[in-house]
Amino acid sequence: MYIKRTKIIATIGPSSFDRKILKKMIEAGMNVARLNFSHGEYSVHAEVIKNIREISKELDTEIGIMADLQGPRIRVGNAKEFRINAGEIILVSDIKIVSGKKELLIDSPGVVEAICIGERILIEDGLIELGVVKKAGKTALARVIRGGMVKPRKGINVPDTKLHFGAITEKDEVDLKFALEKNVDFVALSFVSNSQEVIKVREQIRKILKNGAILPQIISKIERKGALKNLDEIIEVSDAIMVARGDLGIETDESKVVILQKEIIARCLCFVKPVIVATQMLDSMIRNPIPTRAEVADVSNAVIDHADAVMLSGESASGNYPIEAVAAMKNIIVSTEESPFDDTVPELLDNEMIFDYAATIHAAHELAKSSKAKAIAFFTFSGKTARMMSHHRPQQLILAATDNLKVYNQLSLIWGVDSYLIDVEKNHETAIRKMIELAKKEKKLTSGDKVVIIIGRVARNEAIKLVKLKKVE
């Protein structure tokens, strides 16, 4: 029985709110549910979280929940749509001005003031493009380079402009409090530019929770030019990274997005941080029951590059085939992982690691390969051992036992990790033994299989003492 290693994140929306559909999506291969706080009422998000927790318990499987904060999204502020044509000069402002000219209203104060002559204004994923030709305080004149219909609330990007919004708005702060009250496992930050923004949000989370519990993990979304310049420092302070290709393709040359994706994944592997590839992976499945061949290739390439997870957005949130989209993504992942093209690339993964017990993890992986073991098993308090072992992308099953529900759900994001929630009063060996018994019942292991076991002392820093080889009885 082959077990999928690359994880699937699915965005939950009107097409997938229903409890029965959520259950079928989990059964089809969904590992993490994403709640997009750019849309939806709190009452709906609360119901989805409740249903996922209940289904997760019912199916005895870890399902992580991600709260994706909107961030400083800039939008069209006009109440009515209007057409602009190439060559026209229009007024750009953040307040309504009666000037006799067509006027583009930007809903975020400070943006127009920050824009300089020669910089671009992109509307609706870059379909419409303006170039600023004149500035006068808090207003600007812009020439229409690529025209079209300007629609209310559509997204605006200013890729050439230096903005100083930070990664969290007043709306985000309210959304964050709600998400923490609902005990989400991950918080995704949109439009991150530097490490200080991530550190600030982590401090806010600590202040809100105040109980010393394991915090939700912070996922930094890479979608700004500034983020690329500060990539290493952002990865270092984040728990995981999302390659958010939508805005990234607007902020940068779209022809370079796939190269940037590969570079970001490679850097995350160096830092031993989970990495997600997102946006339009199976976009045609919003309308069609099967993906295009190009979309199949896109998902396969993310798997070959060793992404921890791939993500569905509109496909599962508002599309006609949310269950089929998850199933299709799983089939692509499995086919790719079973091929030789998904083999580990040593020069990519053999980077120096900063943790004291990295050598022990490496030794356990080498023992698993040389002994032809079926699995590598261990107990983890925080998930760190799981991330370290996943870094090696072993061919063996990665079986992780934990006694913490938050860690159990957070392991849902890490490549190859199959986690078990086992409360055995901090006794590692008993927990591992029980986990192996459960894996045997699930037919993941059979009598005679070899398992490499990593045993550490009972302490929060997980200092490891022993690696041993055991046969399943």
Catalytic residue numbers read 34, 75, 221, 279
Task: Please count the other Cβ atoms lying within 10 Å of the Cβ belonging to residue 123.
Answer: 24
Distance between CA atoms of residues 33 and 48, nearest Å? 9
Residue 125 tokens read as 């994923």
Consecutive H or E run containing 143: strand 139-146
CA–CA distance, 212 with 207 (Å, rounded to integer): 10
Alpha helices by DSSP H, listed for 238-292, are: 245-251, 257-271
Burial bucket for residue 136 (CB in 10 Å: 0-12, 13-18, 19+): exposed
Query: What does residue 70 show for φ and ψ, rounded to 5 degrees?
Result: -65, -40
322-337 and 19-28 helices cross at what angle (nearest 10)? Answer: 10
Please answer whether residues 71 and 189 qualify as being in contact, where contact means their C-beta atoms are separated by less than 8 angstroms.
yes
Tell me the C-alpha to C-alpha distance, in Å, between residue 374 and each of 399, 400, 420. 10, 14, 17
Q: Which residue type does 35 have?
A: L
Specify the long-range contacts of residues 336-342, CB closer than 8 Å, at least 24 apart.
336/299, 336/300, 336/303, 336/304, 337/2, 337/4, 337/5, 337/6, 337/303, 338/2, 341/304, 342/303, 342/304
Name the residue among 202, 91, 77, 182 with its Cα closest to residue 142.
91
- How does 359-382 read in b/e, with b if 16+ C-beta sit within 10 Å? ebbbebbebbeeeebbbbbbbbbb
**Alpha-carbon torsion 73, 74, 80, 82, what sign?**
negative
Among the residues of 151-281, which ranges form H helices? 170-181, 195-209, 225-229, 231-237, 245-251, 257-271
